[in-house]
């Protein structure tokens, strides 16, 4: 079952100070590891929309189209909904597809452009990640692209696989191929109904991520760690790279330098790094 978590980041942290703060709070890490991560991208919304219109036209199967609209409509603005009403005569595109299913009406440049605009604030991807002896496949989706809750709302569907080789083979057999391969260091804690992690990615300074179910719980932990609300950033990792004048997506294989590995060795033993 998928679940929704909310998360924030605090950038450019001093790892030693955070480790000491967690000790002062009486919390021991639940894990320290190098993570091996493959990322697989989904097609753009407008491309999936057009593909599933063809499926509807050729087979009468509307399930794929309905699934896409249900995922994308959280990104529709009030103006988008009004535009939909002008085109199809009602505000709910899903209900129209369920009742009418007229592919000739749906195959409309305005609707395709609307899906293209929604794609700019819609994020969905597959993550294959090995953490120590555990390997998982996770479908991640930002379901609140406009920041209504003032926090990223990320829906996750996750399941385990035997190892990263089998996971990669499984996804490739499903027609998904890795867009990027990345490594990062993570030190993770459970604290006050949240997960607190210290992340160190290659080429950028370390940051903290706090993930929880409510804004109140997250900001309580932010305060306990000695930070203020103005220290909080509601951004993705690619935005962190951008702030450091780097393009995360330009690195197809992102690994640590020898200097970074030496620094990481202070926190993770050689055995743990393996």
In angstroms, the CA 29 to CA 269 distance is: 14
Kindly report, residue by residue over 177-196, the tens digit of the pLDDT: 999 999 999 999 999 999 99
pLDDT of residue 270: 42
**What's this model's pTM, rounded to 2 decimal places?**
0.71
Whether residue 96 contacts residue 53, with contact meaning beta carbons closer than 8 Å, is answered with no
Q: Identify which has the larger pLDDT, 23 or 249.
A: 23
- Average the pLDDT over 71-95 and give the result: 91
Beta carbons of 204 and 240 less than 8 angstroms apart: yes
Q: Is residue 186 a contact partner of residue 38, using CB atoms and an 8 Å limit?
A: no
Cα(2)–Cα(20) distance, rounded to whole angstroms?
Answer: 34
A 10 A CB-CB count for 59 gives: 9
pLDDT digits (tens, 9 = 90+) for 90-102: 999 999 999 887 8
Question: Does the pLDDT at position 150 exceed 80?
Answer: no
What is the per-residue pLDDT for 4? Answer: 65
d(CA 58, CA 158): 33
- The pLDDT of residue 144 is 58
Yes or no: say if 189 and 196 are a contact pair by the CB < 8 Å rule: yes
* Structure-block tokens of residue 206: 């370390």
- List the single range of 15-19, 69-73, 215-219, 268-272 with lowest mean pLDDT: 268-272
Q: Catalogue all structural domains in the chain, each as residue range(s) with its CATH number.
A: 3-42+121-273 (2.40.320.10), 45-119 (no CATH)
CB 139 within 8 Å of CB 156: yes
Q: Give 132's pLDDT tier (boundaries 50, 70, 90).
A: confident
Is 19 a residue whose pLDDT tops 50?
A: yes
* Averaged pLDDT, 118-131: 90
Q: Residue 147's pLDDT band (boundaries 50, 70, 90)?
A: very low
The whole-number pLDDT of residue 188 equals 96
Alpha helices in the chain, H assignment, sequence order:
15-24, 45-59, 63-72, 78-88, 93-99, 103-106, 109-119, 164-173, 215-224, 237-243, 258-264, 270-273
Q: Could you read off the pLDDT of 155-171 as tens digits, one per residue?
A: 889 999 999 999 999 99
Greater confidence (127 vs 2) lies with 127
pLDDT beyond 60 at 152: no
Q: What is the pLDDT of residue 155?
A: 80
pLDDT at 3 over 50: yes
Give the position of tokens 């399930």: 63
pLDDT score at 272: 44
Q: Is the torsion defined by CA of 157, 162, 167, 173 positive or negative?
A: negative
SS3 content of the chain, % helix, strand, coil (to 5): 40, 30, 30
Summary mean pLDDT of the chain: 90
What is the structure's pLDDT at 271? 45
Cα distance between residue 51 and residue 65, in whole Å: 9
Which pLDDT does position 260 carry in this prediction? 95
Q: How confident is the model at residue 148 (pLDDT cuts 50, 70, 90)?
A: very low
């Amino acid at each position: 079952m998928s679940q929704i978590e909310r998360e924030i980041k605090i950038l450019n942290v001093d790892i030693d100070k955070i480790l000491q703060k967690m000790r002062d709070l009486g919390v021991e890490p639940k894990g320290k590891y190098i993570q091996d991560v493959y990322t697989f991208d989904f097609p753009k919304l407008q491309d999936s929309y057009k593909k599933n219109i063809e499926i509807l036209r050729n087979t009468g199967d509307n399930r794929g189209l309905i699934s896409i609209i249900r995922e994308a409509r959280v990104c529709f603005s009030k103006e988008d909904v009004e535009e939909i009403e002008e085109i199809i005569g009602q505000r709910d595109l899903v209900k129209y597809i369920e009742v009418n299913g007229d592919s000739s009406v749906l195959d409309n440049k305005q609707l395709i452009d609307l899906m293209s605009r929604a794609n700019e604030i819609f994020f969905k991807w597959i993550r294959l990640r090995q953490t120590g002896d555990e390997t998982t496949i996770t479908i991640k989706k930002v379901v609140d692209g406009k920041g209504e809750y003032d926090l990223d709302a990320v829906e996750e569907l996750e399941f385990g696989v035997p190892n990263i080789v089998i996971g990669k083979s499984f996804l490739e057999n499903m027609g998904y191929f890795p867009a990027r391969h990345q490594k990062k260091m993570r030190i993770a804690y459970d604290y006050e109904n949240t997960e607190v992690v210290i992340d160190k990615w290659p080429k950028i300074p370390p940051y903290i991520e706090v993930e929880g179910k409510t804004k109140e719980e997250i900001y309580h932990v932010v305060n306990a760690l000695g930070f203020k609300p103005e220290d909080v950033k509601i951004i993705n990792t690619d935005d962190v790279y951008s702030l450091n004048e780097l393009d995360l997506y330009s690195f197809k294989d992102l690994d640590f330098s020898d200097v970074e590995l030496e620094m990481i060795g202070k926190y993770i033993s050689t055995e743990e790094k393996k």
